[in-house]
Chains A and B, each alone.
Chain A
């Protein structure tokens, strides 16, 4: 059974940093691209970043480019999101999501974690 579990959220001051983690199990992690998707309180969904199955081709939404870094450790079945220069509008629940396609990235999200809340506030 596929499971993805996020951790690392919390309260941080504007300009601060935070590192989110996502632990995956129940599937061959190294065969699938992985994404971060966020949802501001009471708002819709916003795709944040993707990384290919082999750790290549990280891509970012314009809203986070240059501030966030996505990475993965296939030996540990872990996905990460390093968030720097945080702003109030980064406040959201951050979801880790598995891509549907094997050995390709098509940006369809077939399994999601329960999310971790990030609050940027002074």
Chain B
């Protein structure tokens, strides 16, 4: 099983600032990495797949980068509606998720 590790566990960011979330895989997943956003009380929503491709309808302020074992999700100009837990997920083999990063609005 590929273990996904996210950091930090919690990120507190002021509106308009940049948030950078990290995800590390225990072995290479190539570019088979996705990011999901889960707002309180809601189902997850696909944000990014293929490490850097935004899903349909996702705003350009969400940017994914990385390859192999190291990945980042950057939210530029954070908005209050971005309050959520963000999960990375590899699909290079049987899918596994990271434990999540909670983004708080400062």
Do they bind each other? Answer: yes
Q: Does A59 contact B97, Cβ atoms closer than 8 Å?
A: no
Question: In the complex, what residue of chain A is closest to B4 when comparing beta carbons?
Answer: A44
Inter-chain contact A112/B43, CB cutoff 8 Å: yes
B43 touches A44 (CB 8 A): no
Closest to B100 in A: A44
**Chain B CB within 10 Å — which of A44, A62, A110 has the most?**
A44
What's the interface size class on B, roughly?
20 to 34
Residues of A within 8 A of B (CB): 44-47, 59, 61-62, 95, 100, 106-110, 112-115
5 sample A-B contacts, Cβ–Cβ < 8 Å, listed by A number? A45-B89, A109-B46, A110-B55, A112-B43, A112-B45
How many angstroms between the C-alpha atoms of A36 and B34 in the bound complex?
17
Within 8 Å by CB of B46, from A46, A95, A100, A113, lies: A100
Q: Which of A59, A95, A108 contacts B49 (CB 8 A)?
A: A108
Which residues in B have their C-beta under 8 angstroms from that of A108?
A: 34, 46, 49, 91
